[in-house]
Amino acid sequence: MTLYLRHYWKDERLVFPSTSNKSMTFDGRLVKKIWVPDVFFVHSKRSFIHDTTTDNIMLRVFPDGQVLYSLRITVTAMCNMDFSHFPLDSQTCSLELESYAYTDEDLMLYWKNGDESLKTDEKISLSQFLIQKFHTTSRLAFYSSTGWYNRLYINFTLRRHIFFFLLQTYFPATLMVMLSWVSFWIDHRAVPARVSLGITTVLTMSTIITGVNASMPRVSYIKAVDIYLWVSFVFVFLSVLEYAAVNYLTTVLERKPQEKFPCMCGMLHSRTMMLGGSCSESEANSLAGYPRSHILTEEERQDKIVAHLALSSESNSSRKKGLLKGQVGLRIFQNTHAIDKYSRLIFPASYIFFNLIYWSVFA
């Protein structure tokens, strides 16, 4: 930040009688000839006094010895931030001032007007943060080797602007999750369409996660944006697994041999035939255990065939009932259209529920 740092103190050695001048103003050249506080910025990474076109230093002395010492300084200071709620976070940063050489027994530092000592431009703004409030505090700082020092604090409460991250992170991630649901409405036989859609959404989510982490400090804890992106990634990945399950079950059902029902045309030997099949005259005689040379009368042959086919029909009915009972519990898994149908409801409902919990906790 760039600021005007103004010091006020009284030095009786600078008292001068005057009837016309209310004060005397000097530039930085006189500062080296009088005593001034040795204030510095604690935890400052870099700071400097502006010197264009000359040193931005002003010294004003009043007749009663009151001194105003003003500097124009730019400071780059450290701020400890917690990114666990990023980008829905609020940060508190402090700028700390302290005397470098004089302990609290030699020099007392305090804010002249409390919080009113801080004045900012109403139009000031930051690209990522909104300055919610700022206040001043003061306390003692202890150094084991030198003693106690007065320290002044300027505390800023900053709230991060969320709109940028909504456009760059949350909105694209939500669109990718919704795009992955489109595969539930595509025919399961359209393998290239559904596979390419799933792979595209997975790769896009990976790109979004990589881009967000590349612009962030490498912290060892989970951020709020990580939770949202990784849960979205899981939803996209599950949609790919859903089609893998649908395709697998479809393949299993297609490879499953068709059910055959026996046509018992004889008592001694048995052969199978497709439902709706028929037995020829020679087959009926041979299956019944009669040689081709033995010719039955028309009445006897019809009686035997009808009797044996009736027994076979009863056996087939009992087997079909058992198969239907066993297939009731697997109906959803065998019907691939049912899996897509339920996914169309479960996936959006789960994602909406996750968003309600996420925004109620972190917003």
**Does residue 294 lie within any of the structural domains?**
no
CATH code, domain carrying 202: 1.20.58.390
Identify any residues that bridge with 133 across adjacent strands, giving them in sequence order: 157
| Of the candidates 215, 311, 320, 208, the residue with the CA atom closest to the CA atom of residue 266 | 311
CB-based contacts of 213, cutoff 8 Å, min separation 6: none
**Domain final residue pick, 122, 138, 160:** 160
151 shares its domain with 189: no
Instruction: Supply the mean pLDDT for the chain.
Output: 82
Residue 319: the pLDDT is 52
Domain that holds residue 139: 82-160
51 shares its domain with 90: no
Residue 199: the pLDDT is 93
Distance CA 146, CA 144 (A): 6
The Cα-based distances of 332 to 302, 336, 343 in angstroms read 45, 7, 12
The pLDDT tens digits of the residues spanning 304-358 come to: 444 343 444 444 554 555 555 445 445 544 555 788 899 999 999 999 999 999 9
**Domain final residue pick, 145, 160, 175:** 160
Distance CA 113, CA 176 (A): 54
211 shares its domain with 355: yes
Which of 56-65, 72-81, 271-280 shows the lowest per-residue confidence on average (mean pLDDT)? 271-280
Which of 122-126, 254-258, 272-276 shows the lowest per-residue confidence on average (mean pLDDT)? 272-276
**Does residue 196 lie within any of the structural domains?**
yes
119 shares its domain with 194: no
The pLDDT tens digits of the residues spanning 324-337 come to: 544 544 554 455 57
**Does residue 268 lie within any of the structural domains?**
no
**Does residue 300 lie within any of the structural domains?**
no
- pTM of full prediction above 0.85: no
Does the pLDDT at position 117 exceed 50?
A: yes
Number of domains into which the chain is organized: 3
Q: Please tell me whether residue 153 adopts helix, strand or coil conformation.
A: strand
Distance CA 325, CA 248 (A): 23
Residue 257: the pLDDT is 63
**Does residue 9 lie within any of the structural domains?**
yes
99 shares its domain with 60: no
97 shares its domain with 239: no
242 shares its domain with 195: yes
29 shares its domain with 72: yes
Residue 329: the pLDDT is 45
End-to-end Cα spacing for the chain: 28
25 shares its domain with 53: yes
The pLDDT tens digits of the residues spanning 151-203 come to: 999 998 999 999 999 999 999 999 999 999 999 999 888 889 999 999 999 99
**Does residue 273 lie within any of the structural domains?**
no
5 shares its domain with 140: no
Query: Which is more confidently placed, 149 or 286?
Result: 149
**Domain final residue pick, 160, 176, 200:** 160
The pLDDT tens digits of the residues spanning 210-240 come to: 998 888 888 889 999 999 999 999 999 999 9
